[in-house]
Amino acid sequence: MTPAARVQGAIELLDAIIDAARRGGASADRIAHEWFKSRRFAGSGDRRAIRDLAWRAIRASGEVPPSGRAALLLLAKDDEALVPLFDGSTHGPAPVDPDEPVARSGLAPAWLVKQMRASDLDWDEIGALLERAPLDLRANRLKTTREALAESLETPSEPTAARDGLRLLTAANVDRWPQFEQGLFEVQDTGSQLACEALGASPGESVIDLCAGAGGKTLALAAAMDNRGTLLACDTDRTRLQRIPPRAERAGAAIETRLLNPGQEAAMLADWAVRADAVLIDAPCSGTGTWRRNPETRWRLTPRILESTAVVQAALLDIAAGLVRPGGRICYVVCSLLDREGADQAAAFLARNPQWRAADVVMPLGTPRGTGRRLTPLHDGTDGFFVACLERL
């Protein structure tokens, strides 16, 4: 493809991403995957260039842009090399009309920026949420050590602050590596690894991962527990939960799964009432801490979504409280940097549950926030997280 055709490709891909964001459709990653699948003529260099341009444009536009072309024109304002590629050539974009719309640059929708500023995030912190994320691995201690894994990799890496973590120093397609097939590692952000460590799950315990999704954190808990004790992964999303057994098999991890019906979680976990040593709640949230990976999700959030998610978060905390034995604990985690979803939720839980207290969040990174700790890309080089540890008296 010519450079101009790549720009036109990025415009068309962005149009599909913008449309999905407006309709609440598939994620940008999924759309890009499907888009390239139906355009086999694009070689790997074309794909990389088109994706790179599209993601740069997503990062630059704080609000949903009027069109893919308007988003690319925003990039062209600061990138002189792009302007001559609007050349009207056969597969390239039409020449620029000085009166046509250009997307507005910005970090996020105004209402969201306001919430972030109220959560004490300065402009540098918000800006860092839109930078590129590094690629972190977690060595699977059920099968190897991080030192042995690092030595076996052809790509250079360095240890992270997480117990089993490695950060790759160059980009790589890790899911094609034999070490991945053998279950020697998982791809997992350092912040996510630290959130799992904060639960302090140990061998022999009875542990629930209440919002396990596809099991990213459950696998880390299984490794911490050395497969001894009981580890139950729950979720209300069947498709996600179904991904756990094959992943657990590859990792050699012992994990039970249980699908929950929304609104009936406590009843469906009645056999676990007041029994768990520890419950991890990796609650559904706005995902403001993961914009480095999914920058278009900030176009999808609304105050109403934020409020309804906060209601679910509070309910999950109360459900978890009914599962924990006296002396047991909850680790409440959100990949969000908004206090509404993090520190305020933990504080509200403690206010309505006098038989619970805040415990220290044992973590080598982060800064105190309310009764918990906050990890941010700028301060800690991780995705953004809030983590609180709560203990039943």
Ligand X SMILES: C[S@@+](CC[C@H](N)C(=O)[O-])C[C@H]1O[C@@H](n2cnc3c(N)ncnc32)[C@H](O)[C@@H]1O
For binding to ligand X (CB under 6 A), which residues are involved?
A: 210-214, 216-217, 234-237, 240, 260, 262, 265, 282, 284, 312, 316
CB nearer ligand X, residue 35 or residue 385 = 385
Cβ at position 280, least distance to ligand X in Å: 8
CB nearer ligand X, residue 286 or residue 371 = 286
Token pair belonging to 379: 């301060």
Token pair belonging to 359: 């415990």
CA-nearest of 198, 118, 195 to 385 is 195
End-to-end CA distance of the chain: 65
CB nearer ligand X, residue 64 or residue 334 = 334
Token pair belonging to 261: 């019906």
Four-point Cα dihedral 311, 314, 319, 324, nearest 10: 170
168 neighbors 157 (Cβ within 8 angstroms): yes
List, in sequence order, every residue forming a beta bridge with 374; answer none if it has no partner: 367, 386
Token pair belonging to 116: 């972030």
134 neighbors 191 (Cβ within 8 angstroms): no
Cβ at position 149, least distance to ligand X in Å: 20
Cβ at position 213, least distance to ligand X in Å: 3
CB nearer ligand X, residue 71 or residue 301 = 301
Cβ at position 377, least distance to ligand X in Å: 17
Cβ at position 315, least distance to ligand X in Å: 7
From the candidates 196, 331, 335, 389, which is the catalytic residue?
A: 335
Token pair belonging to 172: 């790589």
Residue 282 assigned ligand-binding role: yes
Pairing, β 276-282 against β 206-209: parallel
The one-letter code for the residue type at 78 is: D
Residue with tokens 């459900």: 319
Four-point Cα dihedral 363, 368, 372, 375, nearest 10: -60
Q: Is 335 a catalytic residue?
A: yes
Q: What are phi and psi of 114, to 5 degrees?
A: -60, -45
CB nearer ligand X, residue 73 or residue 196 = 196
- Which of the residues are catalytic? 335
Q: Which residues are annotated as a binding site for S-adenosyl-L-methionine?
A: 235, 282
